[in-house]
Structure 1
Amino acid sequence: MFAYLILAHAHPQQLARLVRALRHPDAHFYIHLDAKTPEEPFREAVSGEDITYIGHREKVAWGAYSLVQATLNGFAEIIRSQRPYSYVHLLSGQDYPLVSHETMASFFEANPGKQYMEFYPVEGVWTEAIPRIRKYHFVNFDFPGKFMAERMVNAVMPARKMPDELTAVGRSQWFSITPEAIRYIQGYLGRHPEVVRFFRLTWGVDELIFQTLLYNSPFRDSLVNDNLRYIDWSEGKASPKTLTQADWPAMQASGKFFARKFTENDEVLDRIDQSKLHP
């Protein structure tokens, strides 16, 4: 049984199509809507007994801890449900599945207990992320002059160090992990408020925190450095390439289970649906 935790902020009809593509008797959906987004259009577009809207909504800011908190709020709702999920898949509202439920279910049944996420060491490999953890970032806060204050603090304060002797790893924020891993993350953050404080002052923390916690835990041996997502960063922009029909051959050959990102009505989604009916 799968739980899909979907972080959405726009395009209710696109979210509805994503849910339809994933719907199955052994699947449930947990939807976090950015608190800045009106909820009613989404509830009108996406409803059913398999849908849970996260009640505690966050005002999400790009690169801020608020995105982590939105994910944690979803985790709490999933665990509180007490349903026997085998995996939790974190998705955005602009993602889409490349394969059928049956294909995914067979794969995860054959590979139980693995955690599928990207986890490249910051030191020595993903070096562009070093300033994220060594400098102070006020992106999660909202007060006049915060960026000037951020520059002043970084000018006088020494470089930050990871708390609790954690080794920082990460990359893509999207992953498929087990409820057991989620319970570990919840427990660890509850026991280590200093780690929460550190990550609240980290930019792009959504691409670091969950991988780092599991990499420095008893779950380390279960980590697989593959998040099972097709994402094209070839344009060199802050956001990945928007996928179209021209990208279908590469998506099909990738062996990935999900892809991102798409526009609301692109015909490539029809092509993907057809491929699942006639593999």
Structure 2
Amino acid sequence: MNIAYCFSAYIDPKHLRNLISTLHKDAEFFVHIDLKRDISEFVAEIHQSNVHFITDRYDIFWGEFSQCQYQLALIHSCLGLEKKFDYIFMLSGLDYPLWSNKRITKFLEENNGKQFIQAICLDGKEKSATHLYEMYRPFYDFPIKYRWLRTKLRIAGKRILNFFHAKRKKLYFYVKDKKWSVYKGAEWFAITPDLAKYILDTYETNPEIYEYFKSSFAPPETLFHTIAFNSHFADKCIFTRSKGTILAEITPLHFIDYSAGILVMQEKDFDRLIESGKMFCRKMRTGISDNLKYRIDKYREEQDML
């Protein structure tokens, strides 16, 4: 089972090193470092030949299209490598595996061909659940040099549009005259290279996709999902019927506690992490999660002995 792990990282190089060293030794690792960060801090920590720091780097704004740009760049890098993969994981640099590598491999082999990307359809849901996704986020691609000024313009534009109840985004759009509903899920998933290539090719050959998502709220939670669920791969993906849009319910592989933004896990969280049955957890930090990491490592070793 050949696996590619893709990471987005911006802090904690030591944890990223530990995360990579914990996963499959024969995997390939593709890493995007936020352009605001000094990449040398990460390169100094990680010296493996199977770790690829991608050169296309983006200045990441949370909830904006720049997050999609790094995802697409990571997929480009994966598919550009001569090695052929069975699965491509999209992960955070602050994740940590709860399953042993042996268990991950066994699960993928038993479910080979399935797409571990999960979503709900936003089109047709109640306004209370979709209002953020109907709001335009202007000035994403406005050519302004200074980050602070662009941020102020973006926030001001969004507030003005919202105050006057101006035009709202529809939760569908058209690609080559075919209606596409918008789907939402977590930005962390595992898909086959066939679906990854399909997403990349479809995005690059249909400019209307970029035009829709560039002004959307949290497009990394919708872009990949919308392409996948409007394709012939949909029946291999995980569709969820839900009245709301709660991310915890549509995150297929991760345990994430959204109660305080995103909670940094500590040793006291060990039992509920294991009981969740999830493959990964997020998020972990050096100096805060060290004892938890030790207990998870022991648990993973025990799994391998079963």
Distance 1:38 1:252, change over 3 A: same
In structure 2, the residue matched to 1:121 is: 121
Q: Could you tell me whether the CA contact under 8 Å between 1:63 and 1:139 is conserved in 2?
A: no
2:254 pairs with 1:240: no
Task: Output the aligned Cα RMSD.
Answer: 1.9
In the alignment, which of 160, 170, 173 is matched to residue 169 of structure 2? Answer: 160
Structure 1: gaps of 5 or more residues:
none
State the distance in 1 between where 2:12 and 2:127 align.
Answer: 35
- Which structure 2 residues correspond to residues 102-251 of structure 1 after superposition, within 5 A? 102-123=102-123, 130-138=130-138, 140-141=140-141, 143=150, 145-153=153-161, 155=164, 157-161=166-170, 162-164=172-174, 165-225=179-239, 227-233=252-258, 235=259, 237=260, 239-251=261-273
State the distance in 1 between where 2:157 and 2:301 align.
Answer: 55
- Alpha-carbon deviation of 1:171? 2.7
Structure 2: gaps of 5 or more residues:
142-146, 240-250
State the distance in 2 between where 1:153 and 1:125 align.
Answer: 22
The SS at the match of 1:116 is coil
Distance 1:28 1:213, change over 3 A: same
Amino acid at match of 1:207: E
State the distance in 2 between where 1:82 and 1:223 align.
Answer: 26
Between the aligned residues of both structures, percent identity stands at: 26
2:272 pairs with 1:272: no
In structure 2, the residue matched to 1:30 is: 30
- Alpha-carbon deviation of 1:102? 1.4
Which is further off, 194-203 or 138-147? 138-147
In structure 1, the residue matched to 2:11 is: 10
After TM superposition, the score normalised by the length of structure 1 is 0.92
Distance 1:51 1:126, change over 3 A: farther
CA shift digits 1:132-189 (9 cap, x unpaired): 4322113735535332233344537432222222111213111011111111111111
Distance 1:53 1:127, change over 3 A: farther
2:87 pairs with 1:78: no
After TM superposition, the score normalised by the length of structure 2 is 0.84
Amino acid at match of 1:163: F
In structure 1, the residue matched to 2:243 is: none
Q: Could you tell me whether the CA contact under 8 Å between 1:57 and 1:70 is conserved in 2?
A: yes
State the distance in 2 between where 1:259 and 1:78 align.
Answer: 23
State the distance in 2 between where 1:215 and 1:126 align.
Answer: 20
State the distance in 2 between where 1:22 and 1:51 align.
Answer: 12
CA shift digits 1:186-235 (9 cap, x unpaired): 111112111111100001111111111101110000002552111122x2
Distance 1:67 1:128, change over 3 A: farther
The SS at the match of 2:88 is strand
